[in-house]
Structure 1
């Protein structure tokens, strides 16, 4: 299929391949995303009392943040592939490309917020976080916070879809960074707000039961939906999102065990969402680009990247330095303006760049081989690639950040 075919009505003509416009779209989207994610980190740092009072809340953060990026980032990637393949139509009917994806994404986000809460409580018990929240509190915070955040991220995703049709944006370039990092911005405050409904005894328990019941009904309805596209997306997404949540919980354990260090250097706590979101966004961009190339027959998905894939890999690696450096600068400025504690800017920058270098190497390996494997096994790389990449990078990024903190001497 030619990459220069004319797009359907409502979407501008697209050319697929590296260009200055592509690079500009990626860089702008990534930097905007990093700044938004820094605001989410600022909320996290300001919620020190809540983090201490509701032990285990930080355990939810990587998984809850990643879940929004996994679900809606994969949705954006599917829509980007549809745009390049010439099958995109901007309509919101349940049987349309956009409407069907929205229904599936909403159901998956709500249901897996519930699953995340159950697994987070189990993980807290296994790893000896004896003072962690009750199961009902985990369910209230995760599911209620996830519901609020998903509605907001869904609106943002729809806005980007409309913008792509109106202004000629390439969804492969803008969806992954903006959905991932706007998810950081919106999910963290949503969890903190939802935490106000936790710890209220029987009232929290009743709310948890209602949320669980609603989540199960929505998941079963979506799984058995008469609309083929919705059911297919849900059935293919359930296994990979389950694996992704387990990986994210391991990242959460890594961060939770360093809570005292992070509270002692709150600038690094502000950096956390931007760092993890930036790494995930870089991987998401690469996944989206590779998936589209594989679908269009521009790359044979071989074990060694082709020249076309190599160009996309190099462009993502080059973007890593400004992304992580901007995250460090934004975290330092936010900490200074709000009176938060933290090391000197040079130390924050060293932590961000050192950890970012380790994370970027993993971005390339995980993004390419997970997308390639999904395609070669006949699975949809748009559905499988982004969740595996962003969640794996949450774990790798958490370890890399801790290692960099130790190496620089701030932990």
Structure 2
């Protein structure tokens, strides 16, 4: 899995690392730096695949950002839609990012075998993801209505939120599910590192499919009576799906649902809180639409980088290569150094490409250097939190007998939905855009 530019980039990184390591070794200086550079060189395949996946993800989520920038009229017409949008995107990424991580671990442990069937490892995991998608769509609407009511923000009716959320979830989940299965089969065939490529590509497909799906959902609202009936039917369907998933699903699917639901409730709250921050600054974002364009690629990149870290830590915990200690050991810190490498390259790309995309479309922008500064400052704040949340989510879940694949990625991505928006606001205030 390599493209010509990415192969050239990783070859250049490897070429720069070798003489640097040799120079440090001869002079016995900065042993920690030498160890980090050696780790990067050993993991150059992961670096290559991770950077390629991040590049694809940033490119796709820029399109999502452009869609969000073009939704300014709809966002003003339907108050509360901006509250729901990042939460819906984050929920797709959390559910299917965790699915990708479980499948990646299943590949390493030999659990993915034979044809697809309901009782197979792949079949039970996809069933659980489908049930979780429907249930959490209604959950998102309820959390959005409740929090906006507490905060005094204007929002459309609860049943309208349910309809938009459920239709958006069903349509986007079909797309992302197809991407996950195709990616898993390809990774199995070509021996790609699912932990390195899974979350960035899955998050990107969630971003690009969720916003158009939500827009389609808005077409179904309008008549108050029809919306009320349809909305409550969807609530009932979600309740039935919950009972079925917790009582009738097979063992693996039931465990995934049981362990995921509490975490996804946290995901819903974090996503809606992120949306309320955006709703509160809606006028600023609409007036400088490039900032609105930056939201999906920044949040997706944060979740993807955290997802790579979480997926790798989860696999290494399963394999006994990382110990679940209260203070991270050296193997965990080395994994964290890869996270920093991905972050520096990823956030610089997000800032520059966001400005270029906005300029091409005639959107207002604070300028190339201010935009890069905003995203990079926000990104460096975010990467510290990514490591802390990623490490402790993975090790704590493993310590208490839970599957880190069910817990750590949703916790990281959902936390970054909210905290990432706050970091982006800090970046905007720091640069003064």
Does the alignment reach a TM-score above 0.5? yes
Among residues 98, 101, 117, which one is paired with 2:125 in the alignment? 101
Tell me if the contact between 1:18 and 1:312 (Cα under 8 Å) persists in the aligned partners: no
- Secondary structure at the aligned position of 2:327 is classed as coil
Deviation at 1:203, TM superposition (A): 2.0
1:258 corresponds to: 281
1:51 corresponds to: 75
Distance 2:357 2:182 in 1: 28
2:108 corresponds to: 84
Among residues 152, 165, 172, which one is paired with 1:128 in the alignment? 152
Deviation at 1:207, TM superposition (A): 2.1
Find out whether 1:204 has 2:227 as its counterpart. yes
Change in CA separation of 1:18 and 1:195 when aligned onto 2, cut-off 3 Å: farther
Tell me if the contact between 1:117 and 1:139 (Cα under 8 Å) persists in the aligned partners: yes
Distance 2:392 2:249 in 1: 33
2:94 corresponds to: 70
Tell me if the contact between 1:69 and 1:183 (Cα under 8 Å) persists in the aligned partners: yes
Tell me if the contact between 2:175 and 2:205 (Cα under 8 Å) persists in the aligned partners: no
Gaps of 5+ in 2: 1-40
1:406 corresponds to: 429
Among residues 30, 48, 57, which one is paired with 1:24 in the alignment? 48
Distance 2:128 2:141 in 1: 20
1:14 corresponds to: none
Tell me if the contact between 1:145 and 1:187 (Cα under 8 Å) persists in the aligned partners: yes
Change in CA separation of 1:260 and 1:305 when aligned onto 2, cut-off 3 Å: same
Tell me if the contact between 1:91 and 1:99 (Cα under 8 Å) persists in the aligned partners: no
Deviation at 1:87, TM superposition (A): 2.2
Change in CA separation of 1:83 and 1:60 when aligned onto 2, cut-off 3 Å: same
Q: 137-146 or 194-203: which moved more?
A: 194-203
Tell me if the contact between 2:167 and 2:216 (Cα under 8 Å) persists in the aligned partners: no
2:339 corresponds to: 316
Distance 2:259 2:327 in 1: 26
* 1:26-75 residue CA offsets vs partner (Å, 9 max, x unmatched): 01001110111111111111011100000010101221011111111111
Deviation at 1:215, TM superposition (A): 2.0
**What is the TM-score with the length of structure 1 in the denominator?**
0.93
Deviation at 1:356, TM superposition (A): 0.4
1:4-403 → structure 2 map (5 Å cutoff): 18-89=42-113, 91-129=115-153, 131-403=154-426
Distance 2:92 2:230 in 1: 22
Change in CA separation of 1:341 and 1:85 when aligned onto 2, cut-off 3 Å: same
Distance 2:365 2:224 in 1: 36
Q: 321-330 or 233-242: which moved more?
A: 321-330
- Secondary structure at the aligned position of 2:358 is classed as helix
Q: Which structure has more helix as a fraction of its residues?
A: 2
Deviation at 1:236, TM superposition (A): 1.1
Deviation at 1:226, TM superposition (A): 4.3
* 1:344-381 residue CA offsets vs partner (Å, 9 max, x unmatched): 11111110000000001100111011111111111111
* 1:287-332 residue CA offsets vs partner (Å, 9 max, x unmatched): 0000111111111111222222222110111111121121122221
Deviation at 1:18, TM superposition (A): 5.0
2:6 corresponds to: none
**What is the TM-score with the length of structure 2 in the denominator?**
0.88
Distance 2:335 2:119 in 1: 33
Larger Rg computed on CA atoms: 2
The alignment covers a number of residue pairs equal to 393
Distance 1:377 1:18 in 2: 32
Distance 2:241 2:172 in 1: 17
Gaps of 5+ in 1: 1-16
Distance 2:342 2:203 in 1: 16
Deviation at 1:404, TM superposition (A): 0.9
